[in-house]
Protein backbone atom coordinates (compact mmCIF):
# COMPACT_ATOMS: atom_id res chain seq x y z
CA UNK A 1 0.00 0.00 0.00
CA UNK A 2 1.31 3.40 -0.92
CA UNK A 3 0.80 6.29 1.42
CA UNK A 4 0.81 9.90 0.26
CA UNK A 5 0.80 12.17 3.28
CA UNK A 6 -0.45 15.74 2.97
CA UNK A 7 0.94 17.14 6.20
CA UNK A 8 1.55 20.63 4.89
CA UNK A 9 -2.11 21.38 4.35
CA UNK A 10 -4.61 22.80 6.74
CA UNK A 11 -6.40 19.62 7.88
CA UNK A 12 -9.73 21.46 7.97
CA UNK A 13 -9.49 22.78 4.43
CA UNK A 14 -12.15 21.48 2.06
CA UNK A 15 -10.71 18.63 0.06
CA UNK A 16 -12.26 18.11 -3.36
CA UNK A 17 -13.97 14.74 -3.68
CA UNK A 18 -11.85 12.05 -5.30
CA UNK A 19 -12.54 8.39 -6.00
CA UNK A 20 -11.41 5.95 -3.29
CA UNK A 21 -12.38 2.76 -5.01
CA UNK A 22 -12.54 1.54 -8.60
CA UNK A 23 -16.34 1.39 -8.40
CA UNK A 24 -16.41 5.15 -7.74
CA UNK A 25 -15.16 5.72 -11.28
CA UNK A 26 -18.87 5.52 -12.06
CA UNK A 27 -18.88 9.12 -10.85
CA UNK A 28 -15.85 10.12 -12.95
CA UNK A 29 -17.39 10.31 -16.39
CA UNK A 30 -17.97 14.01 -16.85
CA UNK A 31 -17.08 14.87 -20.46
CA UNK A 32 -15.49 18.06 -21.64
CA UNK A 33 -17.58 18.87 -24.69
CA UNK A 34 -15.76 20.78 -27.37
CA UNK A 35 -16.69 19.79 -30.90
CA UNK A 36 -20.17 18.27 -30.98
CA UNK A 37 -21.22 16.99 -34.41
CA UNK A 38 -24.82 17.95 -33.54
CA UNK A 39 -24.14 21.65 -33.08
CA UNK A 40 -20.63 22.51 -34.29
CA UNK A 41 -20.26 23.17 -38.05
CA UNK A 42 -16.48 22.63 -37.71
CA UNK A 43 -17.08 18.96 -36.83
CA UNK A 44 -16.71 16.73 -39.93
CA UNK A 45 -19.83 14.76 -38.91
CA UNK A 46 -22.01 17.85 -38.64
CA UNK A 47 -25.22 17.26 -40.63
CA UNK A 48 -24.61 13.47 -40.99
CA UNK A 49 -27.72 12.12 -39.24
CA UNK A 50 -26.75 8.44 -39.44
CA UNK A 51 -23.37 9.14 -37.88
CA UNK A 52 -24.93 11.31 -35.18
CA UNK A 53 -27.58 8.70 -34.30
CA UNK A 54 -25.00 5.88 -34.04
CA UNK A 55 -22.80 8.03 -31.88
CA UNK A 56 -25.68 8.94 -29.57
CA UNK A 57 -26.62 5.25 -29.21
CA UNK A 58 -23.07 4.35 -28.13
CA UNK A 59 -22.64 7.34 -25.85
CA UNK A 60 -25.94 6.73 -24.07
CA UNK A 61 -24.75 3.24 -23.25
CA UNK A 62 -21.35 4.46 -22.09
CA UNK A 63 -22.85 7.03 -19.76
CA UNK A 64 -25.02 4.38 -18.12
CA UNK A 65 -22.09 2.02 -17.54
CA UNK A 66 -21.84 1.05 -13.88
CA UNK A 67 -19.45 -1.29 -12.16
CA UNK A 68 -21.96 -3.77 -10.77
CA UNK A 69 -21.05 -6.91 -8.96
CA UNK A 70 -24.57 -8.28 -9.39
CA UNK A 71 -24.06 -8.09 -13.16
CA UNK A 72 -20.80 -10.08 -12.85
CA UNK A 73 -22.65 -12.74 -10.84
CA UNK A 74 -25.29 -12.94 -13.59
CA UNK A 75 -22.67 -12.94 -16.40
CA UNK A 76 -20.77 -15.80 -14.79
CA UNK A 77 -23.99 -17.79 -14.34
CA UNK A 78 -23.63 -17.86 -10.54
CA UNK A 79 -27.06 -16.29 -10.15
CA UNK A 80 -29.59 -17.21 -12.83
CA UNK A 81 -33.31 -16.65 -13.22
CA UNK A 82 -34.27 -20.29 -13.62
CA UNK A 83 -32.89 -22.01 -10.55
CA UNK A 84 -32.05 -21.33 -6.92
CA UNK A 85 -28.32 -20.69 -6.60
CA UNK A 86 -26.38 -23.11 -4.42
CA UNK A 87 -24.14 -21.83 -1.63
CA UNK A 88 -21.27 -24.02 -2.89
CA UNK A 89 -21.27 -22.30 -6.28
CA UNK A 90 -21.49 -18.81 -4.74
CA UNK A 91 -18.68 -19.68 -2.36
CA UNK A 92 -16.43 -20.70 -5.25
CA UNK A 93 -17.07 -17.31 -6.79
CA UNK A 94 -16.59 -15.30 -3.58
CA UNK A 95 -13.44 -17.25 -2.71
CA UNK A 96 -11.81 -16.00 -5.91
CA UNK A 97 -12.96 -12.44 -5.38
CA UNK A 98 -12.41 -11.73 -1.70
CA UNK A 99 -12.12 -14.98 0.23
CA UNK A 100 -15.51 -14.48 1.86
CA UNK A 101 -17.61 -17.59 2.41
CA UNK A 102 -21.29 -18.05 3.12
CA UNK A 103 -22.17 -20.37 5.94
CA UNK A 104 -25.75 -21.50 6.37
CA UNK A 105 -27.64 -20.36 9.48
CA UNK A 106 -31.26 -20.73 10.47
CA UNK A 107 -32.45 -17.17 11.07
CA UNK A 108 -31.54 -13.74 12.40
CA UNK A 109 -28.48 -14.23 14.62
CA UNK A 110 -27.47 -12.36 17.74
CA UNK A 111 -25.41 -9.31 16.82
CA UNK A 112 -22.40 -10.69 18.67
CA UNK A 113 -22.38 -13.96 16.73
CA UNK A 114 -23.05 -12.32 13.40
CA UNK A 115 -20.25 -9.76 13.82
CA UNK A 116 -17.81 -12.40 15.13
CA UNK A 117 -18.28 -14.38 11.90
CA UNK A 118 -17.28 -11.40 9.81
CA UNK A 119 -13.90 -11.43 11.57
CA UNK A 120 -13.20 -14.69 9.71
CA UNK A 121 -14.67 -13.50 6.42
CA UNK A 122 -17.65 -15.68 7.02
CA UNK A 123 -21.14 -14.43 6.30
CA UNK A 124 -23.97 -16.29 8.01
CA UNK A 125 -26.67 -16.86 5.45
CA UNK A 126 -30.28 -17.99 5.74
CA UNK A 127 -31.27 -20.54 3.10
CA UNK A 128 -35.10 -20.53 3.20
CA UNK A 129 -37.21 -18.25 0.99
CA UNK A 130 -39.71 -15.61 2.08
CA UNK A 131 -43.37 -16.59 1.96
CA UNK A 132 -44.95 -16.07 -1.45
CA UNK A 133 -47.75 -14.03 0.15
CA UNK A 134 -45.38 -11.09 0.67
CA UNK A 135 -42.66 -10.97 -2.01
CA UNK A 136 -41.97 -7.23 -1.66
CA UNK A 137 -40.98 -7.31 1.98
CA UNK A 138 -39.92 -9.95 4.45
CA UNK A 139 -39.69 -9.19 8.17
CA UNK A 140 -36.67 -11.50 8.44
CA UNK A 141 -33.66 -12.22 6.23
CA UNK A 142 -34.14 -14.93 3.58
CA UNK A 143 -32.09 -16.30 0.66
CA UNK A 144 -33.29 -13.58 -1.73
CA UNK A 145 -32.14 -10.93 0.71
CA UNK A 146 -28.73 -12.56 1.20
CA UNK A 147 -28.11 -13.09 -2.52
CA UNK A 148 -29.37 -9.83 -3.96
CA UNK A 149 -28.48 -7.64 -1.00
CA UNK A 150 -25.29 -8.96 0.58
CA UNK A 151 -23.42 -11.24 -1.83
CA UNK A 152 -22.58 -8.50 -4.40
CA UNK A 153 -21.13 -6.43 -1.54
CA UNK A 154 -18.91 -9.25 -0.31
CA UNK A 155 -17.53 -9.62 -3.84
CA UNK A 156 -16.00 -6.16 -3.43
CA UNK A 157 -12.47 -6.27 -1.93
CA UNK A 158 -12.73 -3.00 -0.03
CA UNK A 159 -16.16 -3.80 1.46
CA UNK A 160 -14.90 -7.28 2.33
CA UNK A 161 -11.85 -5.87 4.13
CA UNK A 162 -13.83 -3.28 6.06
CA UNK A 163 -16.47 -5.86 7.02
CA UNK A 164 -13.77 -8.14 8.37
CA UNK A 165 -12.17 -5.26 10.30
CA UNK A 166 -15.51 -4.42 11.92
CA UNK A 167 -15.91 -8.09 12.80
CA UNK A 168 -12.45 -8.20 14.36
CA UNK A 169 -13.20 -5.14 16.45
CA UNK A 170 -16.38 -6.75 17.76
CA UNK A 171 -14.46 -9.65 19.32
CA UNK A 172 -14.49 -9.41 23.09
CA UNK A 173 -16.35 -6.08 23.01
CA UNK A 174 -18.82 -5.19 25.79
CA UNK A 175 -22.57 -5.70 25.30
CA UNK A 176 -22.99 -1.96 25.00
CA UNK A 177 -20.31 -1.68 22.31
CA UNK A 178 -21.82 -4.59 20.36
CA UNK A 179 -25.22 -2.94 20.50
CA UNK A 180 -23.79 0.26 19.00
CA UNK A 181 -21.85 -1.53 16.25
CA UNK A 182 -24.91 -3.59 15.37
CA UNK A 183 -27.12 -0.50 15.25
CA UNK A 184 -24.81 1.32 12.83
CA UNK A 185 -24.47 -1.85 10.78
CA UNK A 186 -28.25 -2.09 10.63
CA UNK A 187 -28.77 1.49 9.50
CA UNK A 188 -26.02 1.39 6.88
CA UNK A 189 -25.44 -2.14 5.62
CA UNK A 190 -29.10 -3.10 5.82
CA UNK A 191 -31.05 0.13 5.39
CA UNK A 192 -28.59 2.80 4.28
CA UNK A 193 -29.26 5.36 1.58
CA UNK A 194 -26.92 7.63 -0.34
CA UNK A 195 -27.46 10.61 -2.58
CA UNK A 196 -26.46 10.41 -6.24
CA UNK A 197 -27.14 13.23 -8.72
CA UNK A 198 -29.48 14.78 -6.13
CA UNK A 199 -31.56 11.59 -5.88
CA UNK A 200 -31.83 9.16 -2.98
CA UNK A 201 -30.48 5.71 -3.81
CA UNK A 202 -30.37 2.56 -1.68
CA UNK A 203 -27.06 1.09 -0.54
CA UNK A 204 -28.50 -1.16 2.17
CA UNK A 205 -29.00 -4.87 1.51
CA UNK A 206 -32.38 -4.87 3.28
CA UNK A 207 -33.67 -2.29 0.80
CA UNK A 208 -32.16 -3.89 -2.31
CA UNK A 209 -34.11 -7.07 -1.57
CA UNK A 210 -37.39 -5.40 -0.54
CA UNK A 211 -38.98 -3.55 -3.43
CA UNK A 212 -41.85 -2.37 -1.23
CA UNK A 213 -39.62 -0.79 1.38
CA UNK A 214 -37.24 0.56 -1.28
CA UNK A 215 -40.06 2.71 -2.72
CA UNK A 216 -41.00 3.87 0.78
CA UNK A 217 -37.38 4.68 1.78
CA UNK A 218 -36.77 6.93 -1.22
CA UNK A 219 -40.12 8.77 -0.88
CA UNK A 220 -40.80 11.76 1.40
CA UNK A 221 -42.82 9.65 3.86
CA UNK A 222 -39.97 8.62 6.21
CA UNK A 223 -37.47 10.90 7.88
CA UNK A 224 -33.95 11.17 6.40
CA UNK A 225 -30.91 12.14 8.46
CA UNK A 226 -27.26 12.63 7.56
CA UNK A 227 -25.17 9.56 8.50
CA UNK A 228 -22.86 10.08 11.46
CA UNK A 229 -21.84 6.87 13.29
CA UNK A 230 -21.88 8.47 16.76
CA UNK A 231 -25.49 9.64 16.29
CA UNK A 232 -26.65 6.61 14.32
CA UNK A 233 -25.26 4.24 16.98
CA UNK A 234 -27.82 5.34 19.58
CA UNK A 235 -30.86 5.53 17.31
CA UNK A 236 -33.66 3.00 18.00
CA UNK A 237 -34.67 0.92 15.00
CA UNK A 238 -37.72 -0.88 13.68
CA UNK A 239 -37.21 -4.56 13.00
CA UNK A 240 -40.64 -5.78 11.98
CA UNK A 241 -41.92 -3.18 9.53
CA UNK A 242 -40.65 -0.41 7.18
CA UNK A 243 -38.24 1.97 8.89
CA UNK A 244 -39.64 5.39 9.84
CA UNK A 245 -36.12 6.89 9.61
CA UNK A 246 -33.16 6.34 7.25
CA UNK A 247 -29.61 7.61 7.33
CA UNK A 248 -28.06 9.04 4.18
CA UNK A 249 -24.33 8.46 3.54
CA UNK A 250 -22.01 9.53 0.71
CA UNK A 251 -21.42 5.99 -0.52
CA UNK A 252 -21.27 2.51 0.94
CA UNK A 253 -17.47 2.61 0.99
CA UNK A 254 -17.45 5.95 2.79
CA UNK A 255 -20.05 4.76 5.32
CA UNK A 256 -18.10 1.57 6.05
CA UNK A 257 -14.91 3.57 6.41
CA UNK A 258 -16.63 5.75 9.03
CA UNK A 259 -18.07 2.71 10.78
CA UNK A 260 -14.62 1.12 10.87
CA UNK A 261 -13.19 4.35 12.31
CA UNK A 262 -15.96 4.39 14.91
CA UNK A 263 -15.23 0.78 15.87
CA UNK A 264 -11.51 1.58 16.12
CA UNK A 265 -12.25 4.39 18.57
CA UNK A 266 -13.94 2.01 21.02
CA UNK A 267 -11.91 1.34 24.14
CA UNK A 268 -10.56 -2.19 24.40
CA UNK A 269 -7.93 -3.82 26.60
CA UNK A 270 -6.40 -5.83 23.75
CA UNK A 271 -6.23 -5.92 20.01
CA UNK A 272 -6.54 -8.77 17.55
CA UNK A 273 -5.04 -9.73 14.23
CA UNK A 274 -6.30 -12.31 11.81
CA UNK A 275 -3.92 -14.95 10.57
CA UNK A 276 -5.24 -16.07 7.17
CA UNK A 277 -2.82 -19.01 6.98
CA UNK A 278 -4.32 -20.70 10.02
CA UNK A 279 -7.71 -18.95 9.79
CA UNK A 280 -7.41 -17.90 13.39
CA UNK A 281 -7.49 -14.76 15.45
CA UNK A 282 -4.45 -13.85 17.52
CA UNK A 283 -4.93 -11.72 20.61
CA UNK A 284 -2.35 -9.09 21.40
CA UNK A 285 -2.54 -8.01 25.05
CA UNK A 286 -1.34 -4.57 25.98
CA UNK A 287 1.54 -4.68 28.44
N1 LIG B 1 -36.70 -6.70 4.83
C2 LIG B 1 -35.73 -7.46 4.08
C3 LIG B 1 -36.36 -8.00 2.78
O4 LIG B 1 -37.56 -7.96 2.62
O5 LIG B 1 -35.62 -8.50 1.94
C6 LIG B 1 -35.16 -8.59 4.87
C7 LIG B 1 -34.46 -8.15 6.13
C8 LIG B 1 -33.22 -7.62 6.21
C9 LIG B 1 -32.85 -7.31 7.52
C10 LIG B 1 -33.78 -7.58 8.41
S11 LIG B 1 -35.13 -8.22 7.63
FE1 LIG C 1 -29.00 -8.72 6.01
160 CA distance to ligand 2 middle (Å): 15
Q: Respond yes or no: is residue 219 known to be catalytic.
A: no
Q: Can you give the pLDDT at residue 49?
A: 95
Q: Which residue among 188, 209, 213 is best mutated to probe the pocket of ligand 1, counting the most ligand atoms within 8 A of its Cβ? A: 209
Ligand 1 pocket list (CB less than 6 A): 137-141, 145, 190, 206, 209-210
d(CA 204, CA 214): 10
Q: Can you give the pLDDT at residue 9?
A: 62
Tell me the pTM.
0.77
Q: Give the residue ranges of the chain where pLDDT is below 70.
A: 1-9, 11, 20-24, 31, 67, 286-287
Amino acid sequence: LTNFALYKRDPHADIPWFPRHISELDKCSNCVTKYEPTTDPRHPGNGDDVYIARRKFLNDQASQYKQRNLQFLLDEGVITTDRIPQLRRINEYLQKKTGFILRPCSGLLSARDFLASLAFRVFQTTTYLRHGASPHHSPEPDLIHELLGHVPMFADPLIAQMSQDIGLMSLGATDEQIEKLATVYWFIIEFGLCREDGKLKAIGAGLLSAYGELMHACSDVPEHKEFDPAITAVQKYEDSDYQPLYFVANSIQDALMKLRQFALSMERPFSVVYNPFTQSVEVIEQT
